[in-house]
Structure 1
């Protein structure tokens, strides 16, 4: 039997807010989740969050990539370090151009700024030691800590740590699913769970293909265990699907706004690891009356 424990993910992929707590196998990590701004269904993350709005430049300062802003939930009382912030920025870059660029550094004098109480602002330097995230919810409903800066990028190359593994290489698969329902008649979606692990076959190999229908069938079986299913809710549509390979490389597999069919083929080009693990994250919209999301 698997050993499970409750873990907290410091990174938050997808355009729907989820809790940073999941129930997970001790050797697995759920794909990070973020909220992409500028989409027609965009709504600001509820609660304390970090808004990453960066411009990618080369070492000479020439602009090479503008990913648009992305929001990540934060937890007051935790420490936010430069390493954490660079991880967030890398996710923002990968969301725009997956596995093409590596974040080298932030522009000099980059800082985190938050405004509240009639435009009162606090500024936090970005350091290795980091700073404790203050709880400002008594002053403002959704404190937004903003990082607006240039970041230095370089192209990834064959000198990266990724290696090519043969088709005989075993890869463990963990399939995390979340189900969200509408908050009354609004376009705000609320999670009914903090993340469930399906019974999708665990052991696979490099080159194996997992179809979108495989994921849906596993999600449906898990959904039938929920009280919402007994109340008459049904899965209407997939909202997003993401994967993180060996806890390092993240990719967006599906987004309902693009609605492109997908299959997930387990990549042989990956970071070295004693145990290879891919975490698949799958989010679905559920409803009692079959209405679509978002509402027009």
Structure 2
């Protein structure tokens, strides 16, 4: 709630009060404003169009987000269970590690007690007769699953983020739309920005095939797009079969193919990293067009006009962004 109040004050332009929110008097005043509804009231389209954002507001908002992301919570605040560690060995593919034996047994006992209390409080039931051997066997199987490492599927991650958006709607709406440009319905679906369900394919004229003495050579993006299509078809074919491991393997291959299309540096081997993804094309364009002064690529040096340069006038000095940001100050 404190982070949400700080972001709401920053969105209104009250940077000083957001900085001094740790004071108890300011915190109580913020709570009263929340109850009145003046803070959570959505801005009208005319207000959003006339709203100007300063670099100080954006800098403070980024500091709040980074401060929140750096916090490491070992236990769940609702159930008190230990959060299992999550690793990302492949970009976009998460693996949840198994918990230790004591935590697994504690969770099994808690679930067993909750199940027993539910059947005891049931007026139509017969006491504790609901605690059958089937439920004990199911609890033991669930305990075994928790102790093993398993992949955290995309559908599970999407379900978790959807529940988070419903539980912490106030903060999550500020997280996905701090500048208040989206409507309420779009904010409630803000978790969808973390998932890619359809790919934008550039037209054929931007990825033409080339002819040489060896034959016709396909554009690198055509090769990557064909791999994505093949991985998607293989996943659809294996989804009809009950083999769970084959589906996971095809799913991981599809994730890797999509990663290589957008950023070839996310490849596992040297062969995958040698390609040219979308990010590599943008970086190349940035270096050729935007980081050249007087025909030379300069990232951290300033140059005056001592020879013809089409980008500079005779009374101008070329300053790269890295140097310009250090010479200027926030408004």
Q: TM-score range by the shorter chain?
A: under 0.3
Using structure 2 for the length normalisation, give the TM-score. Answer: 0.18
Q: Which has the larger radius of gyration?
A: 2
Higher helix proportion: 2
Relative contact order, CA 8 A, sep 6+: which one is greater? Answer: 1
TM-score (norm 1): 0.19
